[in-house]
Amino acid sequence: MSYILKYTAQKDTWSGAVIAGESFTVAQNTNAPDGGQLKNQLVKLGRTVKSFSSLGGGGLDVGETIEFNEWIIERVK
């Protein structure tokens, strides 16, 4: 099953690979935030990600939003 999560940066982060306010939509195989899958999406977009953080929290229901570290994370599907 595929889940879609939207990640929005609240500040410049991940060694400059992400600027505050940028959002990324990631199709992933879990309904929980996943820093590794977000990193893979950024690399596919041509970003150089020198460092990244793991993103915690449990699984999200559709429409649920959480804040974790410098990210706002919403489950879209």
Q: Is 1's pLDDT higher than 90?
A: no
Mean pLDDT of the chain: 95
The parent domain of residue 56 ranges over: 3-75
Q: Is 72's pLDDT higher than 90?
A: yes
pTM value is: 0.94
% pLDDT > 70, the chain: 99
**pLDDT score of 54:** 87
Give how many domains the chain has, as a whole number. Answer: 1
Q: Is 56's pLDDT higher than 90?
A: no
SS3 label, residue 9: strand
Closest alpha carbon to 8 in 19, 23, 26: 23
What are the pLDDT digits (tens) for 7-17?
999 999 999 99
Q: How many residues does the chain have?
A: 77
